[in-house]
Amino acid sequence: MIKKQSFKKPKPSSRGSKPFSRGPKSSLRGSKPFDRDEKQPMRRESLNIKDENQSVKKDKQAQGELIYGINPVVELLKARRRKVVSIYTTKPTPKGWLQIENQMPKYKIAIQYVAREVLTRMVGNTDHQSVVAWVQPYGFRKKPFEANKSPFVVLLDGVQDARNLGAIVRSAYCTGADGVIICKKNGAPLNAASIKASAGLAERIEIYQAASVQSAAQELKDAGYNLYLAMFDGVNASDCTFKSPACLVIGSEGIGITGSIQKAGEHVTIEQKADDVSYNASVAAGILLHIMGTQLKRI
């Protein structure tokens, strides 16, 4: 028997702000970088949602996960990488619905019209833009990246905020990166919040899940990548000569790059006004990715 799932509104979250590492002994700590909902991976249990206003006469059940927002759903349909089981929206339909209709596949997708409050309960927040989709689970890359086929990648070392993760994925795609590596241990999951923050571009780029940042760094070194670690003690990124194949490593919002991999590559930094402040992790990643992507002629 399938249990009904309740969707609780999450507490407001705060993003971390320190992408660079001051070293393994650093005592810097960020505030809590994400809320309770963003810690959880995308829901893969059975869905059983009943509209309180009886606009949905039958419960819909399917294995998959939720994504929400106009752009994420549009990109999902464009990519054709995974099947959409059903889409929940409101009547009248929201602005941007025509973009979704224009990308509908040949197979039939169940469209369910529900109250906006139902969508809010489904995803736990009000950022859904009146569109929620129940889809097959995200298809992660199964093998590590190969330097000759994917010469420009990004490794995320303990990035905790799901929205920072999504923003970095978005910047990675826009600057010509071939893929992103996230870690199962000590990192934010790729969930509905991160896909929303990526504007759906997570559907366009390959993402590989490594067991840990140590194993990821070793795989990259063995494959021949040149690693560039975002740290305070690095050379100015604008003056650095980046060599392909290249991997940019972005550390966590609170403590930066893990101490055990700090000798794995060259340290690079971004100039800033004062030493006691730092860029947000996703902002720093975007700046560095643009510098690297331009120099490596990826954009």
Does residue 46 or residue 284 have the better pLDDT? 284
Kindly report the pTM of this predicted structure.
Answer: 0.80
Cis preceding-peptide flag for 245 (omega within 30 of 0): yes
- State both tokens at 211: 């067991």
Q: How far is CA 282 from the centre of its chain?
A: 11
Residues of the chain with CATH 3.30.1330.30: 43-135
Cβ–Cβ under 8 Å, residues 257 and 22: no
Which of 1, 32, 22, 41 shows the shortest CA–CA distance to 160? 32
pLDDT digits (tens, 9 = 90+) for 193-241: 999 999 999 999 999 999 999 999 999 999 999 999 999 999 999 999 9
Mean pLDDT of the chain: 85
Residues of the chain with CATH 3.40.1280.10: 152-295
Domain 152-295: top CATH class: alpha beta
Cα gap 143→153, rounded to integer Å: 14
Neighbours of 185 (CB within 10 A): 11
pLDDT band at 40 (very low <50, low <70, confident <90, very high): very low
The contacts of residue 214 (CB under 8 Å, 6+ apart) are 258, 260, 261
**Residue-level length of the chain:** 299
Domain 43-135: top CATH class: alpha beta
pLDDT band at 18 (very low <50, low <70, confident <90, very high): low
pLDDT digits (tens, 9 = 90+) for 149-200: 999 999 999 999 999 999 999 999 999 999 999 999 889 999 999 999 999 9
Q: In the predicted model, is pLDDT for residue 49 greater than 60?
A: no
